[in-house]
Amino acid sequence: MRQVPQDGMASAQAPFGFVGDGRLSRHWRHYFSSLGIPWKLWSRRLAAAADATAGMSPAQALAGCDVVLLAVSDDAIEPVLERLSAAGLRDRIFVHFSGGRSFAGAWGAHPLMSFGAGLYATEFYRDIPVFVEESAAWPDPVARFRALFPQLPNPCFRLRVEDKAFYHALCSLAGGLTAVLWREFFAAMATRFDVPRAALASYPRRIVENVLESADGALTGPVARGDTGTIRAHLEALDGSPLAAVYESFIAAAGRERA
């Protein structure tokens, strides 16, 4: 995996400040660098590293950064805001990446994407949709996004503050739950049925393609058909497993409660 340096490329443009050096930060810094957008980075880990500049404070690391991006976990946003304000950065524009919550003193811009361990192709990042927080304070969030990030070509959509929790719950189920189910699927296929992952690749690819082509017609199998006997056998086979409750919820969500 390509490593991203602690400083972006030199430019006359004011750099953006990144706080946090996890996956989201690494991907977004890579994207910024690919577009020639300068950035600086501060994180607690880097500040505490043995080879870090002694006493490197957030104010020193983020000097000259008018916009500071909080690429940290949701639960860390408020403490980080307090720390940065106490460090003399109260006058900066703070942007956080939480899709499900809002925070006083920071504006939300959520990139709807799953960021894995490896970096993606440069072109891929341009198409990531960004959902921006709309409220009384920010009645035109798309215009604000374009003003703060004029070099980013990403599609941008309004997200009302009161809708954020529901929006992000959907994202978490669609992305996170499916990731867990596929993990269980591949693990069982390998250990119980001795089927290698490579032999199964066409199955998830086709499912995703079917969903993209027509989400309403993508559901197939016994739940779609209402095959009660088969569904009953499935539930018996899954009895005692956490997946049994998932299967039951799947039946209800699919509108086949009668099954």
The pLDDT of residue 37:
97
The pLDDT of residue 5:
44
Helix axes of 228-238 and 242-253: crossing angle, nearest 10 degrees:
150
For residue range 126-138, list pLDDT tens digits in order. Answer: 999 999 999 999 9
The pLDDT of residue 3:
41
For residue range 221-241, list pLDDT tens digits in order. Answer: 999 999 999 999 999 999 999
- Joined tokens for residue 145: 């996004």
Flag whether pLDDT at 12 surpasses 60: no
> How long, in residues, is the chain?
259
The pLDDT of residue 215:
81
Task: Give the Cα separation of 25 and 95 in Å (integer).
Answer: 13
Which residue in 88, 82, 86, 89 sits closest to 103, CA to CA?
Answer: 82
pLDDT tier for residue 13 given thresholds of 50, 70 and 90: confident
Task: Give the Cα separation of 61 and 80 in Å (integer).
Answer: 15
Q: Are 133 and 102 in contact (CB under 8 A)?
A: yes
Give the predicted TM-score (pTM) of the model.
Answer: 0.87
For residue range 162-185, list pLDDT tens digits in order. Answer: 999 999 999 999 999 999 999 999
The pLDDT of residue 184:
95
pLDDT tier for residue 21 given thresholds of 50, 70 and 90: very high
Cα separation values, 100 from 23, 146, 169, 206, Å: 18, 22, 7, 30
For residue range 25-83, list pLDDT tens digits in order. Answer: 999 999 999 999 999 999 988 877 645 554 578 999 999 999 999 999 999 999 999 99
The mean pLDDT of 187-192, rounded to a whole number, is: 96
CA atoms within 13 A of residue 1's CA, in its CB half-sphere: 12
Q: Are 51 and 74 in contact (CB under 8 A)?
A: no
The pLDDT of residue 234:
97
The pLDDT of residue 51:
55
Q: What is the mean pLDDT of the chain?
A: 91
